[in-house]
Amino acid sequence: MSGAELPAQPQPSAAPAGRIELGGELSVNRLGFGAMRLPGIWGEPEAATDAHRLLRRAIELGVNFIDTAHAYGVSERRIGEALHPYPKNLVVATKSGLGRRGPDGRPETIRGQVERSLQLLRVERIDLLQLHTIDPGVPIEESVGAIGEFQDGGKVRLIGVSNVSVEELERARSVTRIASVQNRYSLGDRSSEDVLAVCERDTIAFLPYFPLGAGALARARELQDVARAHRATPAQVALAWLLQRSPVMLPIPGTSSLAHLEENVAAAGLRLSEEEFRRLSAST
């Protein structure tokens, strides 16, 4: 369905879906922006202007949570260039613990990556620093402990983890307070239901990455039918489903397109009926 066929869409705004408090300290709108797909993040300098335009438009639309990572090419640099000095209510989250050859949760690696992230983001303190993934060769307690050193030193405000099981989450929580979990989750991939349940129980923000990774579900009849009823796109319906799935959900869809950014943000204003929500929930 093209943009020209969607005159009844809600006006783009991240606000209608409500807000969530990260760690009980930072209040953000419940639809963020994932910066992994920014134009030019793998080094193409001619795309820098497009990346800056996209980031600034996200802020104009009401997005006040941006998620990036040390591993995302020059994404952190683009964010610093485009948005610093940052709006007062903007929360920028990043990640450490992933290297060129895969997971690297060694404390010395994390320390080096965090110092570089502080430089590129042009900040003295990172709002939310997440362990990017689990390194099977390093106990998660050591990796999270290295991040905790930065928190103790005032260079990190909140700590999160990513790609964790329930058991790994509990081990991380034995070391420090965990404000967020970022796991793969979408309408078509609900393998982290048990982790989400823990987050709901303990009011930990849950950031589903690849929130539009519905795969074949994007072509499923139920999703298409609901989208048609709302004169919306399937992607907007998939995001609306996530927002209604749990009050701790903070989707972070990413895009390199201004048009898709506006479509994604408009999903915050889309409300599914209880019957539509149930139909979609039962569609996999």
Active site (catalytic) residues:
72
Q: Tokens at residue 216, please?
A: 């074949």
Is the CB of residue 143 less than 8 Å from the CB of residue 174? no
Q: Is 236 exposed, middle or buried (0-12, 13-18, 19+ CB in 10 A)?
A: buried
Residue 8 CB neighbours (<10 A): 8
Q: Which of 150, 193, 147, 151 is nearest to 172 (CA)?
A: 147
What is the Cα–Cα distance from 97 to 49, expressed in whole angstroms?
29
| Segments of the chain assigned E as strands | 19-22, 26-29, 33-34, 65-67, 91-96, 98-99, 102-103, 126-131, 156-162, 180-184, 205-209
